Amino acid sequence: MGCLCSKSSAVEDSNESTSKKLQSSSTRASELNVLRLSSSKRVESGGDVKVKSNGSVQLYDDQNGRKKKVEKHELTGIDHPGFGRVPKAIEAEQVAAGWPAWLSSVAGEAIKGWIPRSATTFERLHKIGQGTYSTVYKARDVTNQKIVALKRVRFDNLDPESVKFMAREIHILRRLDHPNIIKLEGLITSETSRSLYLVFEYMEHDLTGLASNPTIKFSEPQLKCYMRQLLSGLDHCHSHGVLHRDIKGSNLLIDNNGVLKIADFGLANVFDSHHNIPLTSRVVTLWYRPPELLLGANHYGVAVDLWSTGCILGELYTGRPILPGKTEVEQLHRIFKLCGSPSEDYWLKLRLPHSTVFKPPHHYRRCVADTFKEYSSTALKLIETLLSVDPSNRGTAAAALKSEFFTSEPLPCDPSSLPKYPPSKEIDAKMRDEASRRQGTVGDREQKVGSSVRQEKAPRAVVSTKDNADMGASVQQKHYSFSKNRSELSYPHREHVSGIAGFPHKQSEDAREMENNASGHFYKRPSHSGPLAPGSGWARGVKEVDNGPTVSNRVNLSKLSGLVASRTLTSEDQETKPVPFPNRKPIEVRKSLEATSGSESRRRRDKKRIVDHSQIVNRRVPTEKSTPDGHGSSGNKIYMSGPLLASSNNMDQMLKDHDRKIQEFSRRARGEKVRAQRK
């Protein structure tokens, strides 16, 4: 395939002097930026943030009408109100260096000191990943003679908010430098370009892809090796003030030398160690989302990533996601059933926005030890710590690295000793799933898929299962279905999911309880349930589509239920604000979306609608006035998960509406797939 665009590579060389100029002016730029921002800014906690000219931030709390200084911390550069912009003079220099004006004007800070790479110096090979917000390609960097991954970021008509999000990802990636964190090597764009590619080192696998390959079985030393690398990368993030907020298998990339790198910093943000700056709770993919976020916490720290890490550890042992909820409510329910319901102290201490609504009326016993009893005591201890319901008991990545899990036999192996696998990505797993579906195995799909792939379709590991197992005690037979580990996918046959020996949840039981919950048995329904009706049939709507014909349908349908953390939320200190259509009714949202035209914009529009819809379902509720407990989020709005806030009177209508929407969406997804295949 040809080059990405027709711009000459000579541009890059001639830009070197400009680059130096940019670097020298960058300090000046940030100083100016801080000065420009030294006015105080209201934040959603009800306090004020004052950015001082010395680069520090002071947080004031409004107590009884008097401002009281409560916190002072370092300016992080990302969480301050005007992050992203640079002075006009710098903007002009950046444009002269080849950056497009739309990027420089919104995200000048993120590209500071860099010059854009020219697309002509890359040869695009093929697509290797499809994220919610991006498409990833394998490409050859002709200048440096190496293979790279190009992540093409989608924008909604260069909407400044989308650009800002991408800028935050770039800024954070540039701040981190660690062998277990993906390295951003450059950016491809030009003055006239309307797109942006992030250039990354190329990684052959992701953990989801490897783990879902039925021919691959992880040994315990291998599993420990991956966990050690994950925790080392996380420790680096956390010690540099960065929360990842989307730790999951498909974001853990692994190269052919067994090196694991944390990728996808699209939801990452900086945090202050005292948790004074409010952050959105709508982050982390559902299955890996900690209870406090499900309960609406806006002040949190490293513990959110440690919870996700605990889920990954459990998953590596058991061979399947350990908490595969379909809705936020079900997710919370699963968590309580496995980890026990929180103590009274927890509710009092955390004072979480949704606690009154989601507090279970009866006590669930913690059964983590029972569930993982067949694994080593050191593994169990670490899982227990990471899956603590109280975030303050999860410790830190540094502490986890020092745990006996890593010092007891069998020891973690060296990454270089790991087997070499053929490329295994989440996208490969999806394709295998798709292929097997085409073979018409709908009934007992998983077993049939498993065997057919094992014999015919699956890429064969260079090292056989046996060789692999010889590395140490083989951990556990694989139970992965190909939809495993993707919160985007919902399980077609939940019995398989809940079939882990000793696992506490069973779909039928859950379903019954969920229904009880919906009628207000398990969770209390707040008085203002009227307008929240559309969410209540959600779980059922998705469930019905679980047996639908294509992977892509299921992928996107579950996104409708808001399982994937949304990036349409505004960044920085406005994270808790509703976006992108905060004050509009669903019908207005639809009209506004339909106003755009053209196939590309239609595609974007569809994607946007998916996200928007999840936000519509997660309706905002004015907390201060109307939540039963009177607790608010840091802002004056919270988002309630749909299912339990429904008016049961409208249930039939809601289910019909959902069915219609699902069918509509399936049609669109099929059309999209056909278009993609034609490309």
Ligand X SMILES: Nc1ncnc2c1ncn2[C@@H]1O[C@H](COP(=O)(O)OP(=O)(O)OP(=O)(O)O)[C@@H](O)[C@H]1O
Which residues of the chain form contacts with ligand X (CB under 6 A)?
A: 128-129, 131-134, 136, 149, 151, 182, 200-203, 206, 250-251, 253, 263-264, 266, 425-427
What would the two tokens of residue 301 be? 């720290």
Whether cis (ω within 30° of 0) applies to the bond prior to 410 is: yes
Residue 454 is given by DSSP the state I
Cβ closest to ligand X, residue 140 vs residue 584: 140
Q: Which of 174, 178, 228 is nearest to 198 (CA)?
A: 174
Nearer to ligand X, 202 or 491 (CB): 202
By beta-carbon proximity to ligand X, the closer residue of 250 and 308 is 250
Of 91 and 426, CB closest to ligand X: 426
- Least distance (Å) from ligand X to the CB of residue 672? 16
Among 79, 246, 433, 573, which one carries the catalytic annotation? 246
Smallest distance from ligand X to CB 207, Å: 9
How much of the chain is in helix, strand and coil states, percent to nearest 5?
A: 45, 10, 40
Identify which of residues 349 and 420 has a Cβ nearer to ligand X in the complex.
420
User: If DSSP states are collapsed to H, E and C, what string results for 108-136?
Assistant: HHHHCCCCCECHHHEEEEEEEEECCCEEE
Q: Do 49 and 62 meet the contact criterion of CB atoms below 8 Å apart?
A: no
Q: Is 52 annotated as a binding residue?
A: no
Q: Is 246 tagged catalytic? A: yes
Q: Please, what sign has the CA dihedral across residues 101, 172, 251, 561?
A: negative
Q: Smallest gap, in angstroms, from Cβ of residue 136 to ligand X?
A: 4
3-class SS at 605?
helix
Give, in order, the Cα–Cα distances in Å from 621 to each of 86, 207, 241, 464, 556.
36, 38, 31, 54, 26
Nearer to ligand X, 78 or 532 (CB): 78
Distant-in-sequence contacts of 95-102, Cβ < 8 A, 24+ apart: 95/191, 96/18, 97/15, 97/18, 97/19, 97/22, 98/11, 98/15, 98/189, 98/190, 98/191, 99/189, 99/191, 100/189, 100/190, 100/191, 100/192, 100/193, 100/194, 101/191, 102/158, 102/163, 102/194
| Residue 260 backbone dihedrals phi, psi, to 5 degrees | -100, 135
Alpha helices in 4-100 (DSSP H): 10-14, 16-36, 88-96
d(CA 316, CA 208) in angstroms, rounded, equals 10
Q: What angle do CA 667, 670, 676 make, to 5 degrees?
A: 140
Q: Catalytic positions, please?
A: 246
Annotated binding site for ATP: 151
